[in-house]
Amino acid sequence: MSFSKKIAIVTGSSQGIGKAIAVLLSQNGATVILNGRNQEKLNTVEEELKANNSDVCSFCGDVSDEKVAENLILFTLQKFGKIDILVNNVGVSMRGDFADLAPNVFKKVFTTNVMGKIFPTKFAIPSLRKTKGSIIFISSLAGIRGLPTLSAYSASKMALKSFADSIRTEEVSHKLHVGLIYVAITEIEENKTTIGENGQEVILNTRANKKVQTTKQVAEAVLQNLKTRKNISILSGLGIVNYYMQKFFPRLVDKIILANLAKFKSEGK
């Protein structure tokens, strides 16, 4: 499948996984609309892609805001006339036992991870129907089974599965492709933040010297999902094992997690 002449929106693409997806899509011929909340970071990515003769532009704004999400879609349609691909990547994580979480932690996580994907999808569907396009949801292995210290994050990622299933069934007559990507533990950029138990941003521990996937590997999996129009892609061998273990041996999974509880609390996943 060629991505030439395809118009692709990638939310949360000023850094990390979203940036890697945007880069790879552009390298494969797609016109990419970048999105993020930091205009300076978006400018840096846009300049990097344009230096490689990529057709790219950016739209700054928080897509968990309904009006911003609508304006992103309108901006794309006014500039390019159609949408072929929507990659719902924007997301945030958190850390802390549920009993210790400030009440606004769940709200912050769900606003970004769920509403930040629902709103762009809602406004893009009419155009995607015309192109028989693709909607991609970037999820996590934490969306397969709720994990300790990640209650809000796990719950938000699990919500994406039911949302994707519903849309896929409803839009079958329009031949829309809805792909869900279960991302494994992935490298992070320096000074990347998460939401702490008090609701404030905290810097994540580095994942250097740990066995993690690269953002490029995640991006390659996303493009493969787009090419094959698969429903679900589970990244890494460990991810596949986790998926089927939870499905067929949930009690054993409970025991394994309990045996490694201290590791979860000290590192998070």
Provide the pLDDT for residue 158.
97
CATH class, 7-267 region: alpha beta
Which parts of the chain register pLDDT below 50?
268-269
Rounded to two decimals, what is the model's pTM? 0.94
Place of tokens 């912050």: 108
Q: Are 52 and 27 in contact (CB under 8 A)?
A: yes
Provide the pLDDT for residue 269.
39
Q: What residues are annotated to the active site?
A: 153
The secondary element (H helix, E strand) that includes residue 71 is helix 66-80
Q: Report the alpha-carbon distance of residue 249 to residue 253 in Å, rounded.
A: 7
- Where in the chain are the domains? 7-267
Question: Residues 162-187: pLDDT tens digits?
Answer: 999 999 999 999 999 999 999 998 88
Half-sphere exposure of residue 120: CA atoms within 13 angstroms, side-chain side? 35
Rg of the chain (C-alpha set): 18
